[in-house]
Structure 1
Amino acid sequence: MAAGPDPSQTGPRSRNGGRSSARSTKLSRDVIVNAALNFLDREGWDALTINALANHLGTKGPSLYNHVHSLEDLRRTVRMRVIGDIIEMLNTVGQGRTRDDAVMVMAGAYRSYAHHHPGRYSAFTRMPFGDDDPEYTAATKDAAAPVIAVLASFGLEGEQAFYAALEFWSAMHGFVLLEMTGVMDDVDTDAVFSDMVLRLTAGLEHRR
């Protein structure tokens, strides 16, 4: 898939070719989280550390601890933010749409998000922190809400809708992973993706 340019990755660069620092930016929790999101897409989840992000912001690690408690606190906040952004995106593109039209548009938006924000997508699909974080567990379940809402237009509710939403996420995630790892470089991925989503919607007709 030939993804378009990502606006979040078009910022100025320093003379030596590296990323420009944000030395003039006053640090706050929101500033740090936003910087972490952009950092993720450039460097990846595993590269996100306090010191690496501080360097990205043009400051020192201890300065960040005035606003985030730890690396785990930062990563959890980032993941919660990503989940919220994905929910908002799916709700927005699905608004006023139903059935096949809604599913196709939401599937395309999900795929586009993964390609334009690979680091954030990696954060979204990482294993959860554990059962000791009920807020995060609830947020991950809420991510299925936009899809479940659309499934109501197929006459699916309750447990049927929940399982159908899981199938949708499984298909989207599997396709995106294969596409991003280059497995399908010699395939017309747009055509395959459209066909897959159409088959999913056709299957929804028979679940009632």
Structure 2
Amino acid sequence: MATRPPRTARLSREAIVNAALTFLDREGWDALTINALANQLGTKGPSLYNHVHSLDDLRRSVRMRVVGDIIEMLNTVGQGRTPDDAVMVMAGAYRSYAHHHPGRYSAFTRMPLGGDDPEFTAATHDAAAPVISVLSTYGLTEESAFYAALEFWSAMHGFVLLEMTGVMTGIDTDAVFSDMVMRLAAGMRHR
């Protein structure tokens, strides 16, 4: 018979969201249920409903936290750098985040980004702000920088997915990644 983890001292919404983030990286998005998370926390599912309204509410909170973490990370690593260096370190940080937090990354990218939730839609647009800020330093207009940020994200996301699904086995992915990011940066200079 499986043993149950020790009961946590006190549940709170923040503790539940933090536990869900850890759970995601270990088990994945599809495995995240109220009962599975409650079991991890050493309690029963109904206890979590004192702090989260539903599984959708929990997943939305997790996604909002992930978006916030990504924004903070990109802002932090890009500060005070030359444009090319900022693009390179932001791309590397994004890639590293995806590899170190695969469940969180999945929460960020796999479900529709926005929809009928204005707060979440705004948060996902804010996630592009650090990249837009750096790309603007290449002399791009605000609109051009926005579209360039979409290109940047598309390239990063595509590369990360190819890596994570094993498509790039046997390839020096670090070298390919660096070359791709530098080509993106060079393209920004020539716009």
Which residue in 2 is equivalent to 1:86? 70
For residues 15-54 of structure 1, the C-alpha deviation after alignment (integer angstroms, 9 at most, x for no partner) is x8x8x83513310000000000000000000000000000
Aligned partner of residue 84 in structure 2, secondary structure: helix
Q: If the length of structure 2 is used for normalisation, what is the TM-score?
A: 0.96
Aligned partner of residue 137 in structure 2, secondary structure: helix
**Contact 2:25-2:103 within 8 A present in 1 as well:** yes
The answer to whether residue 83 in structure 2 is matched with residue 99 in structure 1 is yes
Which residue in 2 is equivalent to 1:168? 152
> Which one has the bigger helix percentage?
2
After TM superposition, the runs of 4+ consecutive aligned structure 1 residues lying more than 6 A away are: none
Structure 1 distance, partners of 2:6, 2:100, is: 23
1:112–1:129: structure 2 CA closer, same or farther, 3 Å change rule?
closer
**Contact 1:41-1:119 within 8 A present in 2 as well:** yes
| AA matched with 2:131 | V
Equivalenced residues, count: 190
Which residue in 2 is equivalent to 1:180? 164
For residues 63-119 of structure 1, the C-alpha deviation after alignment (integer angstroms, 9 at most, x for no partner) is 000000000000000000000000000000011113100000000000000000000
TM-fit CA distance, 1:132: 1.9
Which residue in 1 is equivalent to 2:33? 49
| 1:66-145 aligned within 5 A | 66-128=50-112, 131-145=115-129
* Percent identity (aligned): 82
**Contact 1:33-1:78 within 8 A present in 2 as well:** yes
Structure 2 distance, partners of 1:129, 1:90, is: 18
TM-fit CA distance, 1:206: 1.3
1:22–1:122: structure 2 CA closer, same or farther, 3 Å change rule?
farther
Which residue in 2 is equivalent to 1:63? 47
| AA matched with 1:66 | N
Structure 1 distance, partners of 2:121, 2:58, is: 17
| AA matched with 1:35 | A
1:165–1:25: structure 2 CA closer, same or farther, 3 Å change rule?
same
Structure 2 distance, partners of 1:129, 1:63, is: 29
Structure 1 distance, partners of 2:31, 2:144, is: 39
**Contact 2:114-2:124 within 8 A present in 1 as well:** no
For structure 2, the 5+ residue unaligned runs are none
**Contact 1:151-1:157 within 8 A present in 2 as well:** no
Structure 2 distance, partners of 1:101, 1:89, is: 15
Aligned partner of residue 170 in structure 2, secondary structure: coil
Aligned partner of residue 68 in structure 1, secondary structure: coil
Q: If the length of structure 1 is used for normalisation, what is the TM-score?
A: 0.88
For structure 1, the 5+ residue unaligned runs are 1-15
Structure 1 distance, partners of 2:91, 2:11, is: 36
